[in-house]
Amino acid sequence: MLHGEFKTPGGKLVQVDLEVCDGRLCHVQVTGDFFLEPEEALETIRSAIEGVPVAEATEDHLAWRIRQALARYGRPVEMLGFSPESIAQAVRRALP
Amino acid sequence: MTTVARWRRYRWQLIAGEAFDPAMQMALDEVLTRRVGAGERPPTLRFWEWTAPAVVIGRFQSLRNEVDFEEAERYGITVVRRMTGGGAMLTEPGRVITYSIYAPPELVAGMSFQESYAFLDAWVVDALRALGIEAWYQPINDITSTRGKIGGAAQARRFGAVLHHTTMAYDIDPAKVPRVIRIGREKLSDKGVRSAERRVAPLRQQTDLPRETIQAHLIQTFAERHGLEEGALTADEIEEARELVRTKYGTWEWTAILP
C-alpha cells in the first residue's frame, strides 16, 4: 500500500492510499480533513484516479481528470480546503 | 441585510441539558438537520452534553490514518464518524463545549462556504471576548486565541438545511490528543505552521470560569442577539435518532466507511 499526503496551502490535508496493479493506479482511497458537498462526490473523485496508467499520472493530467469528472457530476460540487490540484499532488507523493 | 436581521428572521429554539453517548450525538445531528430542513422543527441551537469520551472523526477522514484504535480502546474512548467534514476531535464529558446550529439555507444565502463559517460562529467569538478571552476566527473553520487554538467548526448542507457544529476544548489535556489522534508528518512539516496551529489552548488555561458559566454566557449572548426560546427534543426525534444509531452511526460499516 502506497501513501501520499499533501497539505493544501491555507487549507486542509489530503491523504491518498493506493496500489499499482499492472502499471495502473488501483485500490485508490482519497481522504482528509476537507469539506465536500455533496458527500457522494468523493466517489467521483476516487473513480477519476482509479485505473490511470502510472506513466500518465502527472499532476496536470490527474487534476484535469478530476475536474472533468466533477464537471459531469450533474450538480454543483463544493470543495472547501482542497482542490483537484492538491489531490493530484498527494497522488504524486504516493508514487515511488 | 444586516447580520442581526438575518438571524432575527427566525424563532430560534434551544435544546440543552440532556447527555447522550457519542453515536447518539451523531444521530441527533442528522435527525435535527432533517427536521429543520423539512420544516418540522424551528431553527435550533443545541448544546451537547456527553456521557462518554469520544474521538469524533470527519466524514472524509481515513479511520486508520487518523486514529490509533488500540490506544483509544485502552483509554475507553469510543470512535465515531460524524456527517460533516473536517478533522478529528477528542471530546470528554465536562471538558469540552459543543453546540450545533440547525438552520434554513437562507440564513447564509449569498455567502461563500468560508464566509458562512465565520458568520455562524461570530456570536461565540464575541461572547468569549466579553469574558476576557482574546479569541478570533481563523479561516477556514477555527476559533483561536493568542494562546492557541480553542476549537473548530464543521458544516454540512443536507436535507434542505445547514448543519453547523463547533467543539471547543475547555479542559482537554493537550498531551492526550496525539496519543489517540495521529497527526501526519506532512501536517507537522507544513512550514512549521502546523505545530503552532495544532497548539491547543483549552479555555480553562485562559479563564478561571467554570465550564457551566461559559456555556450559560454563550446561550445568553445568542438569546440577546438573535432571540431564543426554551425547547426540547421530542420523543419522536429521540426514537428516530436511536434507530439511526442502530442502522448507521453505531455501526462499523459507517465508522470504517473510509478505512
Per residue in B68-122, pLDDT (tens digit) is 989 999 999 999 999 999 999 999 999 999 999 999 999 999 999 999 999 999 9
CB contact under 8 A, A29 and B185: no
Residue B219 and residue B14 in contact, taking contact as beta carbons nearer than 8 Å? yes
**B219 pLDDT above the threshold of 50:** yes
Per residue in A20-78, pLDDT (tens digit) is 999 999 999 999 999 999 999 999 999 999 999 999 999 999 999 999 999 999 999 99
**B138 pLDDT above the threshold of 60:** yes
Q: Identify all chain A residues contacting B30, using CB atoms and an 8 Å cutoff.
A: none
Average pLDDT, chain B: 93
CB contact under 8 A, B86 and A80: no
CB contact under 8 A, B65 and A31: yes
Mean pLDDT across the stretch B142-155?
96
CB contact under 8 A, A31 and B184: no
* pLDDT (0 to 100) of residue B2: 81
Instruction: Give the full edge-to-edge strand order of the sheet including A13-21.
Output: A2-7, A13-21, A24-32
* pLDDT (0 to 100) of residue B207: 96
pTM of the model: 0.95
Identity of the residue in B58, B84, B186 whose CB atom sits nearest the CB atom of A6:
B186
Q: Identify all chain A residues contacting B113, using CB atoms and an 8 Å cutoff.
A: 35, 37, 78, 80
**A18 pLDDT above the threshold of 60:** yes
* pLDDT (0 to 100) of residue B197: 45
Per residue in B234-246, pLDDT (tens digit) is 999 999 999 999 9
Identity of the residue in B85, B258, B259 whose CB atom sits nearest the CB atom of A35:
B85
Give the chain B residue whose CA is nearest to the CA of A78: B113
> In this complex, how many residue pairs, one in chain A and one in chain B, have their CB atoms less than 8 Å apart?
70
ipTM above 0.90, yes or no: yes
The b-or-e profile of A2-16 (16+ CB within 10 A means b, else e) is bebbbbbeebbbbbb
* pLDDT (0 to 100) of residue B183: 72
**A87 pLDDT above the threshold of 70:** yes
Q: Identify all chain B residues contacting A29, using CB atoms and an 8 Å cutoff.
A: 62, 258-259
Q: Identify all chain A residues contacting B259, using CB atoms and an 8 Å cutoff.
A: 29
Interface residue ranges in chain B relative to chain A, Cβ cutoff 8 Å: 58-62, 65, 83-88, 113-114, 140-141, 154-158, 184-187, 190, 194, 258-259
Distance from CA of A36 to the nearest CA of B (A): 7
Cell of B184: 501526519
Backbone angles phi, psi at B103, to 5 degrees: -135, 155
* pLDDT (0 to 100) of residue A35: 98
Per residue in B178-215, pLDDT (tens digit) is 889 987 545 544 444 444 446 789 999 999 999 999 99
Q: How confident is the model at residue B142 (pLDDT cuts 50, 70, 90)?
A: very high
Per residue in B162-171, pLDDT (tens digit) is 999 999 999 9
Q: Cα separation of B26 and B15, whole Å?
A: 15
Q: Considering chain B, what percentage of its residues have pLDDT values greater than 90? A: 87
CB contact under 8 A, A33 and B87: yes
User: Who has greater pLDDT, B179 or B253?
Assistant: B253
Backbone angles phi, psi at B111, to 5 degrees: -95, 150
Distance from CA of A21 to the nearest CA of B (A): 20
Q: Identify all chain A residues contacting B185, using CB atoms and an 8 Å cutoff.
A: 5
What's the 3-state SS for chain B? Answer: CCHHHHHHCCCCEEECCCEECHHHHHHHHHHHHHHHHCCCCCCEEEECEECCCEEEECCCCCHHHHECHHHHHHCCCEEEECCCCCCCEEECCCCEEEEEEEECHHHHCCCCHHHHHHHHHHHHHHHHHHCCCCEEEECCCEEEECCEEEEEEEEEEECCEEEEEEEEECCCCCCCHHHHECCCHHHHHCCCHHHHHHCECCHHHCCCCCHHHHHHHHHHHHHHHHCCEECCCCHHHHHHHHHHHHHHHCCHHHHCCCC
Identity of the residue in A15, A32, A78 whose CB atom sits nearest the CB atom of B113:
A78
